[in-house]
Structure 1
Amino acid sequence: MGEKKMADKFKAPRTSELEFGGSLGALLLLFVMPGTVLYLLLTCDTDDASVLRLPGPLPPLESLWSPYAVTLLLGWVSLQALLYALPMGKVTEGTTLRDNTRLQYRINAFHAMLVSSVLVGVSLLLKLPLSYVYDHFLQLAVSAGLIALALSIFLYIKSLGAPETALAPGGNSGNPLYDFFIGHELNPRIGGFDLKYFCELRPGLIGWCLVNLCFLMAELELRGSVSLAMSLVFGFQTLYVMDALWHEEAILTTMDIVHDGFGFMLAFGDLCWVPFTYSLQGYFLVTHPQELGTAAALAIILLNAVGYIIFRGSNSQKNTFRRNPADPRVAGLETIPTATGKRLLVSGWWGLVRHPNYLGDLIMALAWSLPCGLSHILPYFYVIYFSALLIHREARDEHQCMKKYGLAWQEYCRRVPYRIFPYIY
């Protein structure tokens, strides 16, 4: 009897608060997310690249689908899976789960990036046509979407046989459509291979860098040189990805890992949305070149540096405090005690706004778009979308923190009234 009560205690509760408009919203997003990727890429491929004008009828099926594109993507994912499984890098433990266990994770994404870079360098020496990615970008995007859909179906079927202790607190509504979209199982694994953790940083994020390099090579082939605008976009975004991979361990405490299940939302986001919409600036610049003066370039570099300093400084401060509050780098910061025994930072970066990392992220996002000029809104899709995403995520964070910390969180919000933008929001 006691064992049954203990098992019930560890079960994931039914999800009562449905996000994204519930099952109807999930159904719409199943079509809106792929449709947005398709619309953006088709629009970017037109002469005027106007988001206010429909790009015309859908291209014929053969221009959307290619078995070779699917094979190429599966090869890329398989390479990253092999690198993830190799015994390089350290092994660390994630946060404590509902059943008081902690999963182990291999931290080697930066190693995978280095090995991938060497392989790409060899392909350049062999003069392999990397511009193929630009020439068949639409086919690759459609293929990535189909792979993400197939993975999502597999994940949901697998989750039906998972123990209740393994289900996601946000994806256990009992509605199959909603749980399929949000993700029913929290940390789906095949043996020791963590599917969500693998997809979160590796094939899509490292692929984003590779895609940008392919755009750079396409511009080089088309014009005989690489533009300053393209160089800035490539450099900024590569720095961002390398930073994420270098600080890979920090992802283990994010909402994606500790709260959200692994379903269509994250699978499509990781494998299709990230590499095929975050790289939109580079895709735009190949066929819509922009002249960028030295003064403007220096101003954009400065803006990106400010964003990066805020982003990295706040994240490092938070991660250092979580690991060891007595660390000399954070020991002098003011905190608020909570009923859970944890303390909330209320000074340093986290005394400026409640989410300084989001502020830095958005400043960098603007810097990535500015090299594309001011005549088109399309290259600014990322910063517009990311603003909406982070404002929504901030609301989700606040809701979870209110439930977890109660009065302490209310005091923190009183002490730090601005959410993301100082004196604005």
Structure 2
Amino acid sequence: MKPTQKKSHSAEREFGGTLGATCIPVFLPLTVLYLLCVCRSPAASVLQWPPLLPPASQLWDPLALLLILGWVVFQSFLYLLPMGKVSEGLVLRDGSRLKYPINGFSALCISAGLFAVLLWLGMPLGSLFELMLPLAVCAIGVSFLLSLYLYIRSFWASAPALALGGNTGNPLYDFFMGRELNPRIGVFDLKYFCELRPGLIGWVVVNLGMLMKEVELRDSPSLAMILVNIFQLLYVADALWNEEAVLTTMDIVHDGFGFMLAFGDLAWVPFVYSLQAAFLVIHPQTLTPLKATAIVALNGVGYFIFRRSNSQKNQFRRDPTHPSVAKLETIATATGKRLLVSGWWGLVRHPNYLGDLLMALAWSLPCGFSHLLPYFYVVYFTILLIHREARDERQCRAKYGLAWDTYCRRVPFRIFPYIY
């Protein structure tokens, strides 16, 4: 069979076009390594000049490669286990619907059981702190190799299997965005697997390693470290418990699987999202009961908004006649779908993003106010969600036309009520 030759489907380029697709794969991996170095330094200053440069000996360890590959293989095994239900994704351009195993929460529970056994056996999980840099280097390397494989194999994919935004004919841009929408090896969906399994559950494992390192150094974990671990474990558990909802997200429905998602899933999530826990190992913080209560309340409010708004949207998509959503006001579109203009989605266009950002702030507050580093995640996530909202806005306007303009007049605020 010969590789398929496809013309560009879209002249619009995102993420800075070719320039962004060239620079981002260079600067984002360097950013991950730089942040990890800063977090381990006594000053923990992101503005330090000259910037911290780790010796080469700290960037490579064969054990790190074995751990990364072993972890991916283990999560692949759990993905293929016949547990949980199987759900169908949205209808593709060729009219078909792919099937997906919904067993991510089971994978999280089995992984938790494995690490409970390892702790009982006395495995030094705190050593993950010393391996953070080589682990990140290996994860970055794996994401590059996976992206190269995905780009090459996409030339054997049929036209309906290609992502509209990643099939421009520009090799650098298409490598970054991903040419193929749902690359699979048999029934194994590579994008769906990477989206929720090795990186997301790996984030929890890294946090646990940081907690155990603090136990080694100070005999017990601090309240700040416990809160960070609990908050982020709740977030991951929620994502996996509601795994079916990811089938309607932009990542699965619209974006191809290329470097952008592969690097984000395998390297950025586990090693940048865990910065607060890594920071607390070297820079312990003391929380008063009052401060801890306020932080827990903030995270609770954020989680409540995030979960209730997402649940309302997912229920409406699955069954708009359900009693919990049947009385919500909607706007009809030319596509036959209806847009919610009441309930959570009448407050702002993306109430789930508002909840996400409140939780992000709650994860950083246990680290105090003496350093900027723990708040990198809040700043980054704000920029990410504003950019993501803008991408969603363009797609919805192109899809729904005048109905979307009517919706925007009814719901003028995007993320923050009365602000943005």
Same fold (TM over 0.5): yes
Q: Distance in 1 between matches of 2:276 and 2:53?
A: 22
Structure 1 runs of 4+ aligned residues shifted over 4 Å read none
Distance 1:76 1:54 in 2: 36
How far has the Cα of 1:56 moved from its partner?
4.5
Count of residue pairs brought into register by the alignment:
415
Match in the other structure for 1:140: 135
| SS of 1:170 mapped into structure 2 | helix
Using structure 1 for the length normalisation, give the TM-score: 0.96
CA positional deviation for 1:353: 0.3
Structure 2 counterparts to residues 205-224 of structure 1, below 5 A: 205-224=200-219
Q: Distance in 2 between matches of 1:13 and 1:345?
A: 34
**Which whole-Å CA distance do the structure 2 matches of 1:82 and 1:138 have between them?**
26
Q: Give the corresponding residue for 2:3.
A: none
Q: Which amino acid aligns with 1:143?
A: C
Matches within 5 A, 1:72-83: 72-83=67-78
- Which runs of no fewer than 5 residues in structure 1 stay unpaired? 1-10
Give the corresponding residue for 1:333: 328
Q: Could you say what secondary structure the match of 1:59 adopts?
A: coil
2:117 match: secondary structure: helix
Task: Give the structure 2 partner of residue 300 of structure 1.
Answer: 295
- What amino acid does structure 1 have at the position aligned with 2:154? S
Q: Pick one of 144, 147, 152 that aligns with 1:152.
A: 147
CA contact (8 A) 1:171 1:179 kept: yes
Q: Are 2:298 and 1:273 aligned? A: no
State how far apart, in whole Å, the 1-side matches of 2:7 and 2:194 are. 23
Instruction: Provide the identity percentage.
Output: 67
Secondary structure (helix, strand or coil) at the match of 2:165 reads coil
* Displacement after TM superposition at 1:58 (Å): 2.5
| Paired residues of 2:341 and 2:410 also in contact (CA < 8 A) | yes
Q: What RMSD in Å do the two structures reach over aligned CA positions?
A: 1.0
2:410 is equivalent to residue 415 of structure 1:
yes
1:282 and 2:277 matched: yes
Which SS does the other structure have where 1:180 is aligned?
A: helix
Say which is worse superposed, 216-225 or 55-64, in terms of deviation. Answer: 55-64
Question: How far apart in 1 are the matches of 2:32 and 2:399?
Answer: 36
Displacement of 1:179 in angstroms is: 0.3
Q: How many angstroms apart in 1 are the aligned matches of 2:419 and 2:52?
A: 42
Q: Deviations over 1:370-419 (max 9, x none)?
A: 00001111000111000000000000000000001111110110011000
8 Å Cα contact 2:104/2:196 also seen in 1: yes
Query: Matches of 1:244 and 1:315 in 2, distance apart?
Result: 11
Displacement of 1:45 in angstroms is 1.3
The DSSP-based 3-state class of the residue aligned with 2:331 is strand
SS in structure 1 at match of 2:48: coil
Provide the residue aligned with 1:323 in structure 2: 318
Counterpart for residue 386 of structure 1: 381
Q: Who is 1:23 aligned against? A: 18
The aligned counterpart of 2:258 is 263
Gaps of 5+ in 2: 1-5
Q: Check if 1:366 corresponds to 2:361.
A: yes
Structure 1 position 49 matched with structure 2 position 44: yes
Distance 2:227 2:55 in 1: 35
Q: CA deviation at 1:169?
A: 1.0
| Superimposed CA distance per residue, residues 155-178 of structure 1 (whole angstroms, 9 cap, x where no aligned partner) | 111111111111011101110100
TM-score normalised per structure 2 = 0.98
